[in-house]
Structure formats: structure tokens, C-alpha cells
Amino acid sequence: MSFADLKRKSQNNFASLTKELEKANSSSSADERFWKPSVDAAGNGFAVIRFLPAPDGEDLPFVKLYSHAFQGPGGWYIENSLTTNGGKDPVGEVNRRLWNSGRDSDKETARKQKRKLSYYSNIYVVSDKANPENEGKVFLYKYGKKIYDKIMAAMQPEFDDETPINPFDMWEGANFKLKITNVAGYWNYDKSEFAAPAALAPDDDTLEKVWRQAHSLQEFVAPSNFKTYEELEERLNLVLGITQTPSVARAQVARPTLDEEIADEEEYSPPARREPALPKVAVAAGVDEDEDDALSYFARLAEED
């Protein structure tokens, strides 16, 4: 191509390049396996989804994952928590010391650093008027404790006149009407509810085709998705601006024994020696929406020694 041709085609080349960049930017960080609900300008949204059974070769139709997302002087700490699979996590150790310091400021920091609980399931999108191209497709869906509580309420209803259902059953389960409202700047799911039980499709051939499209859930809690304790501790120290070696930092605090613990989970025995309060941190926007209760979490941490 001559230089004259390059000049002549420059405008077309610019348009093509712009289009490709837009495409790259829109898809670079998005996992197309996941479905996310959409909301309007007022922050309200509506869709109908169906939770699917466990994928082939797996036992449960959901997995739960604990993670942390907060900011300290050294940057952001966004990591999966080893407590997901029953291990100890360095953030939990730091939060234990903060909570036991007796200072309200330290307790507030611990709350901001507490772990977030997320669930993963496969869903079939029945209706999504905001994104009709999603209808009739199978996606992964990440949700929090509030929606999980809706599922548990359907399986274990509170009142005798309510019939338990298995929301993950393709024959006798029920569609989930996801209703999102804007409450104080956060998505609220309180109005969401299950419809009357009904088969997802009229024939087993169709149901099997849907089920075969389900994605693995166990991959989210596989060991490869978690850093080692030492790697997490190194990152945490960097984020919090801790320059001491971990062994020195831990030696500064005498951990309470089980005999010293107070039964009331809102009260904690102060450590024998108080260490300086760690730097305050900022919590990622919106992470309080579906988290575990901080008090019970820290109480369990104290009982693990």
C-alpha cells in the first residue's frame, strides 16, 4: 500500500479502530457466562429466572465463597478468603486483634474488613425485558445472602399453610421473580418472590438440553482460586502498611483462650497487651449488602484457637 493510499484510507481506518477498541473495552473484564440484572434510571429492575439443579458431576446446585474487599494506605485488598474451605485467613487474624482491642475505632475498621459472602448458581433466564437477548439462555448467577435466604424460605417455609418447594428442581420447582428497588443507594431484593411451582418446560428433552448447558460451580471454590496464607499475609501487610514481620506482629498480642471468651458474641475479652490500632480502611462500595453479621463472624474466629 502506498503512502497516498494510507492517507486516503485514514478516516476509514480510524472508524474501524474505534469500533474495535469499543468492543475490546466492553468485553475485556466481563465474563459472558454470568448474567446480571439491569435497573432503570430510578434504580428499579425486574426479571424472571429459574435456578437450575447441580451441574453434571457435582453434588450441589450452589457454592458459597467468602472474599474481602477493602482499601488501606497501601492500596486495595481484594482476595478470596481461605475460610471458604474451612481454613484460617490472615484478615480474620487481624480482625480478631482489632475487635479485641476494646477500641470502638478498631471495631469499625474490623467491620469494614469483614468478609463478604457470595453464592454461585446456574440459572435459566425466563424473562429479561431489559436484555431480551438473554431470554432462553443458561448463565451463571452470583448472588448474596438475601436472595439465598429467599431460597431457604421457599425450602423451609415459616408457616404451616405453606408448602415447601425445591427451587432448583426443573419439574416441581418455581420461577424466581427478581424485583430490585433502590434503597439508600443500594439494590434491595426484599420484594423478590417465587412464583407458583411449575415445570420449566413441558418435556424432558428440552429440560435436558437446558441442564446440559450448566457451568461448573466447583471451579469457584477450587484450591487454584485461592492464594496461600503466606501470600495473602504479604499482600495484607502491604495494604495495611505493616512493616513488621508476621511473627513479630503476632507475638505482640496474647490471644484469648477459650476459657477467657465471653459467651455473649457482642462481648470479647481484651488481649493481655494492646497493640497500636492498624490504619483505618475504606470498604468497597456496596459490599455491606449481603455480608455475614460481623459479630457472629468474629465470635467464631475466637473459638477456632
DSSP secondary structure of 213-226? TPPPSGGGGSGGGS
Distance, CA of 180 to CA of 173 (rounded, Å): 22
Position 199: which residue type? A
β-sheet bridge partners, residue 194: 176
Angle, CA 216 vertex, CA 130 and CA 23 arms, to 5°: 45
Which has the higher per-residue pLDDT, 6 or 146?
A: 146
C-alpha cell at 49: 429466572
C-alpha cell, 276: 497500636
Q: Which of these ranges, 238-252, 264-278, 290-304, has the smallest mean pLDDT?
A: 264-278
In the block, cell 443458561 appears at 138
At 266 the three-state DSSP class reads coil
251 — phi, psi (to 5°)? -70, -20
Question: How close are the terminal C-alpha atoms of the chain, in Å?
Answer: 72
Per-residue pLDDT, 30:
80
Is the model's pLDDT at 228 over the cut of 60? yes
Residues 6+ away with beta carbon under 8 Å from 188? 180, 181, 182
Interatomic CA distance for residues 224 and 241, integer angstroms: 27
Q: Which residue's entry shows cell 468478609?
A: 115
Query: What value does the mean pLDDT take over residues 82-97?
Result: 95
β-partners of residue 139 are 123
The domain segmentation of the chain, as residue ranges, is: 32-305
Whether the predicted model's global pTM rises above the 0.85 cut:
no
Which of 101, 109, 87 lies closest to 233 in space, CA to CA? 87
Among residues 29, 66, 35, 67, the alpha carbon closest in space to that of 49 is found at: 35
Percent of the chain with pLDDT over 90: 68
Predicted local distance difference test score (pLDDT) of residue 293: 45
Confidence category of residue 20, pLDDT binned at 50, 70, 90 = low
User: What's the distance, CA 116 to chain centroid?
Assistant: 6
Higher local confidence (pLDDT), 175 or 254: 175
pLDDT surpasses 50 at 253: no
Q: Please spell the DSSP secondary structure of 155-211, one letter per residue.
A: HS-SSTTS----TT-TTT---EEEEEEEETTEEE-TT-EE-----SSSSHHHHHHHH
Q: Are 95 and 304 in contact (CB under 8 A)?
A: no
CA nearest to 149, candidates 112, 176, 181, 109: 176
Burial zone of 272 (CB within 10 Å; 0-12 exposed, 13-18 middle, 19+ buried): exposed
CB count within 10 Å of CB 86 equals: 7
What is the sign of the dihedral through the CA atoms of 42, 47, 52 and 55?
A: negative
Pairwise CA distance, residues 90 & 100, whole Å? 16
The pLDDT score that the predictor gives to residue 11 is 64
Q: For residue 8, give the H/E element and its range.
A: helix 3-8
| 32-305 CATH | 3.90.198.10
> Of the ranges 1-10, 176-185, 222-231, which one carries the lowest mean pLDDT score?
1-10
Q: Are 173 and 165 in contact (CB under 8 A)?
A: yes
Candidates 140, 131, 149; CA nearest to 192 is 149
